[in-house]
């Protein structure tokens, strides 16, 4: 996702995954650690371990925020305050739903209202597949429907109809310039709505299919 301004860790006790994450993303600008409020002894110990590793890697400090999990709106507000000044965030969430849901909500709000780039990594207990990662960019595009009007929508529809296209083919099919087709196909690729293969061949992703299904149904219901 390019340069990361903030690493956000949402943990209840275990810091192992977060520490590995700090080491792997050592060039991020800052580290934020979210723990439940009031914090348990295990959560504070985890925070201090992460802070120690972050300091050794050259970070000035690791910020601590406390999420009042018994009050979800307040927890969401505290999480939002912690992330709103950062435009590129990678979050590692290893916590129960009472902590995770307010953070998901805050990150999604930040992505929608401030056009922030957000990636969420979910820790799991499966040693064979310890992480599952979700980038919020296509999610926010689907929710808002931004940018898929006119020519871009026609190109997306062509992708879904034919299963693949190139800038040259899209330009010929839609009677537009190749430069315009390339620009919009790159936008779809950057939003993870299209894949690009060797030879400038573009194919639709499941995100694009989901976007089309949701907005096609909405448009159909509005006409009914």
What is the DSSP annotation of the chain?
----SEEEEEESS--HHHHHHHHHTTTSSEEEEEEESSPPHHHHHHHHHHHHHHHHTT-S-EEEEEE-TTSHHHHHHHHHHHHTT-SEEEEEEES-HHHHHHHHHHHHHHHHHH--EEEEEEE-S-TTS-EEEEEHHHHHHHHH-TT-SHHHHHHHHHHHHHS-B-HHHHHHHHT--HHHHHHHHHHHHHTTSEEEETTTEEEE-HHHHHHHHHHHHHHHHHH-
Say what the pLDDT of residue 46 is. Answer: 87
User: What's the pTM?
Assistant: 0.82
**With contact defined as beta carbons under 8 Å apart, do 210 and 222 qualify?**
no
pLDDT computed for residue 80 by the predictor: 96
Average per-residue pLDDT for the chain:
87
pLDDT grade for 193, boundaries at 50, 70 and 90: very high
Q: What was the pLDDT predicted at 202?
A: 97
List domains and CATH numbers for the chain: 6-141 (3.40.50.11700), 145-223 (1.10.10.10)
Task: Give the pLDDT score at 19.
Answer: 80
pLDDT given for residue 124 in this prediction: 63
- Average pLDDT of 66-88? 94
What's the pLDDT score for residue 3? 83
pLDDT of res. 82: 95
Give the C-alpha separation, 131 to 159, whole Å. 31
User: Stretch 133-160: mean pLDDT, rounded?
Assistant: 85
Tens of pLDDT, residue by residue over 47-59, are 998 888 888 888 8
């Amino acid at each position: 996702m390019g340069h990361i301004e903030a690493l956000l860790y949402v943990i209840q006790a275990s810091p192992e995954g977060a520490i590995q994450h700090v080491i792997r993303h050592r060039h991020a600008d800052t580290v934020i650690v979210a723990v439940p409020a009031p914090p348990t002894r295990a959560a504070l110990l985890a925070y201090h371990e992460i802070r120690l590793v972050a300091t050794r890697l050259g970070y000035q400090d690791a910020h601590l925020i406390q999420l009042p999990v018994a009050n979800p709106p307040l927890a969401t507000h505290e999480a939002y305050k912690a992330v709103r000044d950062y435009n590129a965030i990678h979050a590692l969430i290893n916590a129960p739903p009472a902590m995770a849901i307010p953070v998901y909500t805050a990150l999604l709000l930040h992505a929608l209202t401030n056009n922030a780039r957000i990636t969420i990594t979910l820790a799991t207990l499966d040693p064979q597949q310890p992480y599952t990662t979700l980038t919020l960019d296509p999610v926010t595009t689907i929710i808002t429907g931004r940018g898929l009007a006119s020519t871009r929508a026609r190109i997306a529809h062509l992708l879904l109809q034919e299963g693949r296209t190139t800038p040259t083919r899209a330009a010929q099919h839609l009677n537009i310039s190749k430069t315009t087709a390339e620009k919009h196909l790159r936008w779809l690729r950057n939003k993870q709505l299209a894949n690009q293969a060797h030879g400038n061949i573009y194919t639709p992703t499941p995100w694009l299919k989901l976007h089309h299904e949701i907005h096609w149904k909405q448009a159909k219901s509005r006409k009914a």
